[in-house]
Amino acid sequence: MRSLLDALELHPGTVVVELNREILERDRYGEVEIHDGDTIELVHFVGGG
């Protein structure tokens, strides 16, 4: 998962990752692998006013 975030140039601290309808804890991003058929949702926080 971490390599996907790196490829998309997303900082792990500003993204919530859902893999197959399960929210991943940030400390697991480096150990989770993506497989064919997985569903990934990325929520990127953006500040503003």
The residue written with tokens 């953006």 in the block is: 46
Residue 48 has a pLDDT of 77
Residue 9 has a pLDDT of 94
Task: Retrieve residue 38's tokens.
Answer: 């997985």
Task: Retrieve residue 5's tokens.
Answer: 């975030």
The residue written with tokens 């929210």 in the block is: 23
Residue 44 has a pLDDT of 85
Q: What Rg, from alpha-carbon coordinates, does the chain have?
A: 11
pLDDT in tens, 1-49: 999 999 999 999 889 999 999 999 999 999 999 999 999 999 987 777 6
Residue 47 has a pLDDT of 75
Domains within the chain, CATH numbers bracketed = 2-44 (3.10.20.30)
> Do 30 and 4 contact (CB within 8 A), yes or no?
no
The residue written with tokens 């150990």 in the block is: 31
